[in-house]
Amino acid sequence: MLTVYTIVKPAATYGWGATRTLLLGAIALGLFVAFLVREASARQPLIPLRMFRSRNVSGANLIQVLTVAGMFGVFFLGSLYLGRVLHYDALKIGLAFLPTTLVMGTLSLRFSQPLIMRVGPRRALVPGLLMVAGGLGLFSQVSANSAYLSGVLPAVILIGAGVGVAFPSLMTLAMSGATPSDAGLASGLVNTTAQVGGAIGLAVLATLSATRTKDLLASHHSEVNALIGGYHLASGSASGWSLRQ
């Protein structure tokens, strides 16, 4: 909570290098270290650190954090783009993102599991992440004159397809590295890292976007161009996170 607050308030208002930002960031980091120390010494820890000795568990959760961070941020900013730039109402915005859910659900229910069983979760994960990164990258190319069919739809379909393949692969990898007694913990850990990644990713990308927009407005750009400039920076950053994995 303190990490998210530090990003969206002091960092956005006073800058990333401001004393207040650095102080709160240091406190948040200290709390995280204290949590690790406590978990390492507790008789019945909430999250046994032995879980992270497995490369599959550690890697899957790290990738989950970064992927969800990019997705949550771009969906939030994408909704703002559709509403504030293309002037969609709430219903149109919901329908605009519907293809993501349809593609994601279809792949997850019908095709992902046979694919994972045939080629393995690691090989299935890579093209899934590439599709997510490609969709996020396409979002960074939209403009004030972009049409939904040519500008937005390809991006949301790619993201949906990528998530439909990547997330079942991540879950398989995370569970494969857990012992039977830790299966419930491993499953809960994957879901928790998704929520943490979404919260922090949204905070970072929204702050980057807002800061970029503010700078462009100060440079006498129009409001629409300033907004799009902020969205481009956030989407490009999210795409870069996915590619680095």
Residue 50: the pLDDT is 84
Burial of 150 (0-12, 13-18, 19+ CB in 10 A): exposed
**C-alpha distances out from residue 127 to 101, 115, 132, 237, Å:** 19, 12, 9, 19
Chain mean position to CA 239: 10
Q: Is the pLDDT of residue 177 over 80?
A: no
The share of the chain scoring above pLDDT 70, in percent, equals 97
Q: What distance in Å separates the CA atoms of residue 158 and residue 181, rounded to the nearest whole number?
A: 37
Helix H or strand E segment including 85: none
CATH superfamily of 54-244: MFS general substrate transporter like domains (1.20.1250.20)
- What does the pLDDT look like over 204-228, one tens digit per residue? 888 889 889 989 998 888 888 899 9
User: In sequence order, which residues have a C-beta less than 8 Å from that of residue 160 and are 6 or more positions away?
Assistant: 99, 100, 101, 102, 103, 104, 107, 135
Q: What distance in Å separates the CA atoms of residue 52 and residue 40, rounded to the nearest whole number?
A: 12
| Structure tokens given for 245 | 């994995």
Please name which of 59, 40, 61 lies closest in space to residue 49, comparing C-alpha atoms.
40
